[in-house]
Structure 1
């Protein structure tokens, strides 16, 4: 790693030395051509839409508000930013002799994302500069892409078909009906649990039922007495309220028993059942064990379908979408291709692996797929013409991806690009590069470094 860093540093120094010579020569030619005052008077104007608006200093040919010769206190500000032309004692970015095309004004269309503008030119001092700096190029090629994105896969249970069952009320396990591996149907009994809480609810329910009968008889009697004129209407209303309260109490206790799967009759026991058909994959209950409502006693899984969880590299995500067909091959099932579609792509990247999860449901009628099996998957995409460049050609500046296209032996152009699928050492460029164009590969980071300086070499950086 240290050797690579030193090599990069050496290349930067070589390129900087060659380009600084170009900058000095360019400035001397500008000095000999005409002074700044004469250029301003001659009407040297910046390209439309390329420079900021504002009045020029007539004496020095720069934006009046930024003229450091008229306002010497501004000079330390530009010097601290590294924006200073020592030869002409003006800010480098607006120096009319170094940058006559800017007309003494700063560029107004400089992107705010910290990356060079699309089309920024890098002019080298000589045709040998790229060779001496170790900058290599390769041609962008057009080929049929979209054959498939290879990713790793892991088989998992369908989370929508997994039931974790715990005790509905605390108690003691009295009987077991199943063990791990048992196949069960929906509603099948798993265990009987004796619970004091259930017994108490049953007793209270029996008392509520008795009180309900008394309340019903009492209401009938009061209504009869009212008809005979022997009881007031108030007595009937009181009897009706007592009946309503008795009915509510009975319904509440019956509902409590129903929640735990216990009937109204019997002792304190209740039966734990499964809500879905499948296979018992876990059993933690044992006869005689005291269990609480917080612990899982059984796990039942429907394995008629499984999930293939794919690890998709973040660089491949632009080419992945929902309903995209996938072919999965699992270790241990060689020669068997399982087909499905992507139903989910995670919205987050794993910071450790730089991958995102994608999910593919797979039919499993014979039960051959098992949780935690590993394999490989190929995310399919329709074949299409794709422009491919070497991975080394793509540089990052903040969040922007750049490719440097060779225009001449001594000139490169920065292109903001969008990338698609990655196949080995090649990257698909979906926007920004045309087939046949030469792009910088090895050493392209040096060109990126120079574009971020805002000026280099004889021609500096600029846009058409």
Structure 2
């Protein structure tokens, strides 16, 4: 075989090998396109191919009706009860000569808090003494005029004038006594020392006055006494959640100062007026604070459990968002699903309440339904 013949045979073999290689490469290209996993049918349903791996990923379960109670959360703060908090303001001016109680001290009702040296008190005692003397003189004069009138010695006009003077003196004497009583000063007290006593049992939670200082503002408190054995959580409940709150209801309470701990209280008051700016209502929860864990001013949260009711709950993963609508995938027949628009309610842990669009017993895709929604 000459050289020319051998070259021609080599070229033919190379061409044949090249064609075989091209034919072999073309086969995988035709098989690389996977079969459709889900097909959208004309009636709006979605069918899954029997050979599709999607079939193994979808999880389907029946919708169940369960007993639930809606939990409403509201922010708030701890407050002293207004009827158990008294700002101690002296009814007259004077110098503080002694502080019988200090900040943080416990007091009982009627115990002394501080003593004032007051010229006003001295003047009040002087007025009371003068009024009593005038009353005594008016009584004696009335008795003399009565004796003379009965003996037909004095005229009726003089007797009636003595009666009027006695009545006026009695009124003045009562007014001076009432003034001392308003001060809380006894008829036999000292002329200048005024002792102000606590009207309630509690704790001194604020102190403004100092021993030796002159106090002339009778509208400013020298100290504040509060009974903190029971405190209020003042919560702001949204207008839409008011139906879940009622007087006497138990509320769960958490405070930032005690993370991880839960407390309980009773709803004592639901506000009668809605705040037009925040659209909330004040709800006050009474809390037993004998242990002293709650301090006025603390931030807190209150949880109110509504009445239990029956509702449809589905896993949150079953709910799909499609534009403005919320949908779930309902099984119409094996491997065929219907996208259905539903209305959702409140969340309960990892489940969501379905308000409308589903019925108990219907089977839906509870996992990987988003693959059908694409």
8 Å Cα contact 1:279-1:303 kept in structure 2: yes
SS of residue matched to 2:222: strand
Q: Mapping of 1:404-443 within 5 angstroms? A: 423=348, 435=359
For 1:282, the equivalent position in structure 2 comes to 206
SS of residue matched to 2:292: coil
* Corresponding pairs, count: 294
For 1:271, the equivalent position in structure 2 comes to 195
Q: Find the partner of 1:225 among 148, 151, 168.
A: 148
Q: CA deviation at 1:423?
A: 4.4
| Distance in 1 between residues matched to 2:122 and 2:169, nearest whole Å | 20
| Distance in 2 between residues matched to 1:153 and 1:223, nearest whole Å | 72
| Distance in 2 between residues matched to 1:307 and 1:201, nearest whole Å | 41
| Distance in 1 between residues matched to 2:113 and 2:359, nearest whole Å | 66
For 1:317, the equivalent position in structure 2 comes to 242
For 1:149, the equivalent position in structure 2 comes to 72
Aligned CA RMSD, in angstroms, stands at 4.1
Q: Mapping of 1:167-316 within 5 angstroms? A: 167-265=90-188, 266-286=190-210, 287-316=212-241
Compare 248-257 and 221-230 and name the one that shifted more.
Answer: 221-230
SS of residue matched to 1:295: coil
Q: Find the partner of 1:348 among 274, 277, 288.
A: 274
Q: CA deviation at 1:227?
A: 2.3
C-alpha spacing 1:429/1:384, structure 2 compared with 1 (3 Å): same
| Distance in 1 between residues matched to 2:178 and 2:346, nearest whole Å | 58
| Distance in 1 between residues matched to 2:328 and 2:270, nearest whole Å | 34
8 Å Cα contact 1:316-1:422 kept in structure 2: no
Work out which of the two has the higher radius of gyration on C-alpha atoms and give 1 or 2. Answer: 2
Q: CA deviation at 1:324?
A: 1.8
| Distance in 2 between residues matched to 1:324 and 1:421, nearest whole Å | 21
Q: CA deviation at 1:278?
A: 0.2
Q: Mapping of 1:127-166 within 5 angstroms? A: 142-146=65-69, 148-166=71-89
Q: CA deviation at 1:231?
A: 1.0
SS of residue matched to 2:306: coil
SS of residue matched to 1:343: strand
Q: Could you tell me which runs of 5 or more consecutive residues in structure 1 were left unpaired when the two chains were aligned.
A: 1-125, 129-138, 394-401, 439-464
Q: TM-score, normalised by structure 1?
A: 0.54
Determine whether 1:327 maps to 2:252: yes
C-alpha spacing 1:373/1:259, structure 2 compared with 1 (3 Å): same
C-alpha spacing 1:209/1:421, structure 2 compared with 1 (3 Å): farther
For 1:370, the equivalent position in structure 2 comes to 295
Q: Choose between structure 1 and 2: higher strand proportion.
A: 2
C-alpha spacing 1:151/1:195, structure 2 compared with 1 (3 Å): same
SS of residue matched to 1:342: strand
8 Å Cα contact 1:262-1:269 kept in structure 2: no
Q: TM-score, normalised by structure 2?
A: 0.65
